[in-house]
């Protein structure tokens, strides 16, 4: 009876207070969703004080970290579950030689978004992707979710709850001392190269775990058993220290800025399945730092305003003292472009704080961006960054400078400017000049870290002869952007005065920073587009503001290491200078040092410079200009390089590359740097351009030009011009020297390649402009043209081998005829 009365009373209470019942139900549901409630059964879960004992050393932050002896525990507040966090894995220290030169302290090995999820009595660490998205209020978001299931990196048993059940405790020791692929510093390739067997647990441990208000930083020491380590071979081991950074992504993502391919930016992309378009709509945003004015009203009035949070770069404490000021200048050179965008003091260079100033500072801490100075023989510098995939906001970046890169710039300075620049004619380049070069390299790499890719069209903006004008170069530099690979002014000639030889910031850099970083008080990203488009249209007809993709290998105006608006004229000037340098190379090097080492190194690099100049000309043959436009702009996106220019390029290549370059065959150099291999050095240079001309891709573009019924330089015309020049001895009845015989045989080998091989498809894509550059070689004109050319050549050879030529030439012609016959038999 009592039980019945109690039941009736309870029912009456619920019926009389339905609102309270709903609240209770809602609260219970919320607790279940957020996984706050304790489980009914312990399942191994212990009281907090039994897990986090008095011996624990604790560090509070976004998570509270507890260390007990060698074990580490995360105390994760329930409010931090299901939040997006950026996880970045970096190498903190590494063994010499690991990765072959381009892996170093500070190298990022992985970047991913994760979140921590409660599942029953476990906490799951899950990797999360934003590639496929949909508005959560739309039904299709359910399909996106189930078709993009998130992989679980690790499952942690819940060890305890804190006293007020607002946080959960897990043991992360095993996770951070295991070989977890997703956060490892050794890729599958490196494991294969060094024959890595396994992680040695007895020599692997957690170095430290530190918690900060927004991030957690973990240092791990790993030692692997490896049969063929890159160094310390006798140890059969690879040791590496990793840093794992985990930082909360902003609760309120930065408003993204929609990418426009007419302005160069690195990007992040998403496929929006909730779009009104009849497809998964690809949305691409630029990558940039979040700069917002402290005083929006003053900013709106056109005043220069400091950002709420400036971009700060710290100098590696290992940076040589004499170079520190140049690195700082290279960083802060970007202050002027940011002023164009309305911000002052937007980017700042600082020294690393001392232990007394900040004992917790670490270069691997994801809160800090660092210019790292790497003690390595690698000759390079890079500017990577990490960003929020939801919006493109750059969170952090490290600039990497490899020590030996200084030597590369000294050598290039001597080789490319030595003819017109007396101060470059030495191995002991002044510290001021080296510093200026380094400053500009750092500025270039900082540009990458700000979101800018290479702009290879910037060097095409200035007329070639303007680069011989001192006043012009001092004001404008040698390219319209620091983001081009336009390192030195190789066009200026001896006698030209007041020339600037080293690159500098240009007008495009101001334009791009303003386009990407100017703060707009628009409601959303789409609302910004009319303004952004108007800025592009204002500059559309000015070559100084053109963006050219590095991947446009077909575009003569977007070539790496090329300067000036006429590649043929520029390379003519450059080659003239290079001949002057080659003639003086011994007197500038070995005659001074009484050693041939520098002479050998510089001669080898001189061959590379020569090859680049030739390549700039080669790329005009079958060249197609890419001028990215929208339909409201006049003219086509793609147009062919003029036919007369292409024909001139073939003529230039015959005169300057395929004719034996006697100026390179200086006995004073060759006989003092090697005992043999002289003819092979020349053959490799020539064949590189020959094979580039005789490529499926280039021949296909020449055939395409014919199909458009334009004024064109046909594939047949190019092949005939090439054959007539390479085999001109057959027309003159003269003997062929050693170097020409090598080149001619290489020509036949390449024609055989075109007859027998298939073109491999290459995909060059970017949002809105994607295409498959490939065609069916069997059904195209390529093999018919090649067969015809080989037959014509065979006829000439049969006649020429009976003329008044030496025995080597006769044997050579007979050999080539036999090779052609073999090609026909195989085909």
Q: What is the pLDDT of residues 714-735, one digit of tens each?
A: 999 999 999 999 999 998 889 9
Q: Rounded to whole angstroms, how far apart are CA atoms 489 and 381?
A: 21
Give the per-residue pLDDT at 275: 81
| Residue 372 pLDDT class (50, 70, 90 cuts) | confident
Q: What is the largest CA-CA distance in the chain?
A: 131
Query: What DSSP designation does 772 have?
Result: E
Give the per-residue pLDDT at 545: 98
Residue 404, pLDDT above cutoff 80: no
Residue 123, pLDDT above cutoff 50: yes
Q: In this predicted structure, which of 199-213, 363-377, 597-611 has the lowest mean pLDDT? A: 363-377
Residue 633, pLDDT above cutoff 90: yes
Residue 789, pLDDT above cutoff 50: yes
Q: Decide: 196 and 224 in contact? Cβ < 8 Å.
A: yes
Q: Decide: 677 and 663 in contact? Cβ < 8 Å.
A: no
Q: What is this structure's pTM? A: 0.89
> Smallest Cα–Cα separation from 256: which of 535, 527, 534?
527
> Smallest Cα–Cα separation from 452: which of 369, 378, 517, 504?
517
Share of the chain above pLDDT 70, in %: 93
Give the per-residue pLDDT at 262: 97
Residue 765, pLDDT above cutoff 80: no
Q: Decide: 652 and 573 in contact? Cβ < 8 Å.
A: no
- In the block, tokens 């090995």 appear at 109
Residue 539 has φ and ψ, to the nearest 5°, of: -105, 5
- Tokens read off for 433: 């000049």
**Number of Cβ atoms within 10 Å of the Cβ of 408:** 18
Q: In this predicted structure, which of 128-142, 414-428, 532-546, 565-579 has the lowest mean pLDDT? A: 128-142
- The dihedral formed by the CA atoms of 333, 335, 341 and 346, expressed in degrees to the nearest 10: 140
Q: H or E element: which one contains 440? A: helix 431-449
Which residues, other chains included, contact 798 with Cβ-Cβ below 8 Å and sequence gap of 6+? Answer: 817
Q: What angle do CA 450, 456, 461 make, to 5 degrees?
A: 110
């Amino acid at each position: 009876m009592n039980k019945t009365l109690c039941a009736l009373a309870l029912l009456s209470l619920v019926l009389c207070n339905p609102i309270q019942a709903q609240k209770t139900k809602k609260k219970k549901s919320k607790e279940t969703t957020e996984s706050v409630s304790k489980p009914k059964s312990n399942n191994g879960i212990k009281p907090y004080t039994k897990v986090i004992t008095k011996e624990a050393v604790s560090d509070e932050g976004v998570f509270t970290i507890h260390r007990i002896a060698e074990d580490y525990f995360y105390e994760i507040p329930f409010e931090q579950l299901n939040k997006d966090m950026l996880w970045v894995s970096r190498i903190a220290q590494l063994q010499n030689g690991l990765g072959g030169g381009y892996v170093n302290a500070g190298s990022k090995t992985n970047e991913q978004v994760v979140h921590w999820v409660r599942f029953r009595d476990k906490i799951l660490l899950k990797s999360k992707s934003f590639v496929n998205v949909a508005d959560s209020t739309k039904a299709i978001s359910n399909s996106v979710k189930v078709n993009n299931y998130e992989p679980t990196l690790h499952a942690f048993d819940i060890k305890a709850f804190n006293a007020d059940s607002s946080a959960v405790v897990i043991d992360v020791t095993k996770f951070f001392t295991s070989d977890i692929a997703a956060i490892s510093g050794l890729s599958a390739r490196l494991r294969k190269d060094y024959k890595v067997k396994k992680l040695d647990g007895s020599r692997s441990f957690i170095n430290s775990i530190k918690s900060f208000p927004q991030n957690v930083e973990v240092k791990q020491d790993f030692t692997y058993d490896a049969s063929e380590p890159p160094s310390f071979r006798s140890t059969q081991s690879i040791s590496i220290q990793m840093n794992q950074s985990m930082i909360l992504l902003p609760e309120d993502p930065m408003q993204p800025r929609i990418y426009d391919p007419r302005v160069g930016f690195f990007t992040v992309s998403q496929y929006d399945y909730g779009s009104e378009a009849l497809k998964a709509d690809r949305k691409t945003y630029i990558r940039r730092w979040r700069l917002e004015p402290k005083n929006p009203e003053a900013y709106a009035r056109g005043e220069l305003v400091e950002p709420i949070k400036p971009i700060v770069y710290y100098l590696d404490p290992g940076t040589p003292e004499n170079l520190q000021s140049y690195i700082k200048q290279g960083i802060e050179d970007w202050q002027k472009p940011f002023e164009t965008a309305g911000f002052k003091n937007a980017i700042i260079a600082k020294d690393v704080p001392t232990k007394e100033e900040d004992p917790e500072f670490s270069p691997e801490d994801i809160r800090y961006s660092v210019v790292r100075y790497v003690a390595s023989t690698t000759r390079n510098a890079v500017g990577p960054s990490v960003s929020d995939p939801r919006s493109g906001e750059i969170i952090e970046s490290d600039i990497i400078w490899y020590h030996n890169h200084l030597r590369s710039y000294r050598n290039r300075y001597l080789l490319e400017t030595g003819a017109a620049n007396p101060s470059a004619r030495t191995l002991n380049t002044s510290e001021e000049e080296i510093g200026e070069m380094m400053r500009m390299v750092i500025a270039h790499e900082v540009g990458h870290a700000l979101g800018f890719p290479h702009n290879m069209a910037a060097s095409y903006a200035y007329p070639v002869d303007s680069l011989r004008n001192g006043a012009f170069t001092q004001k404008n530099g040698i390219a319209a952007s620091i983001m081009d690979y336009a390192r030195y002014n190789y066009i200026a000639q001896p006698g030209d005065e007041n020339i600037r030889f080293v690159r500098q910031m240009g007008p495009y850099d101001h334009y791009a920073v303003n386009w990407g970083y100017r703060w707009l008080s628009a409601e959303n990203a789409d609302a910004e587009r009319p303004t952004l488009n108007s800025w592009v249209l204002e500059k559309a007809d000015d070559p100084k503001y053109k963006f050219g993709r590095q991947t446009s290998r077909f575009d003569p105006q977007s070539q790496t290491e090329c300067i000036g608006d006429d590649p043929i004229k520029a390379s003519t000037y450059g080659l003239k200078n290079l001949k002057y340098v080659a003639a003086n190379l011994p007197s500038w090097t070995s005659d001074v040092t009484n050693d041939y080492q520098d002479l050998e190194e510089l001669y080898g690099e001189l061959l590379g410079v020569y090859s680049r100049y030739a390549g700039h000309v080669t790329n005009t043959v079958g060249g197609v200009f890419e001028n990215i436009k929208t339909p409201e702009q006049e003219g086509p996106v793609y147009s062919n390089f003029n036919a007369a220019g292409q024909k001139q390029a073939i003529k230039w290549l015959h005169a300057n590359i395929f004719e034996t370059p006697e100026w390179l065959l200086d006995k004073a150099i060759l006989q003092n740097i090697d005992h043999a291999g002289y003819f092979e050095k020349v053959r490799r240079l020539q064949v590189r351009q020959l094979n580039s001309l005789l490529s499926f891709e280039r021949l296909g573009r020449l055939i395409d030009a014919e199909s458009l019924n334009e004024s064109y330089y046909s594939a047949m015309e190019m092949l005939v011009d090439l054959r007539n020049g390479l085999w001109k001895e057959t027309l003159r009845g003269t003997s062929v020297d050693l170097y020409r015989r090598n080149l001619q045989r290489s020509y036949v080998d390449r024609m055989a390649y075109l007859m027998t091989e298939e073109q491999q498809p290459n995909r060059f894509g970017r949002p809105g402009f994607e295409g498959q550059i490939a065609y069916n070689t069997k059904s195209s004109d390529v093999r018919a043209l090649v067969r015809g050319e080989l037959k014509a050549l065979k006829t000439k050879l049969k006649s020429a081998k009976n003329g008044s030529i030496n025995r080597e030439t006769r044997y050579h012609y007979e050999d080539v005829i036999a090779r052609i016959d073999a090609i026909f038999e195989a085909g």
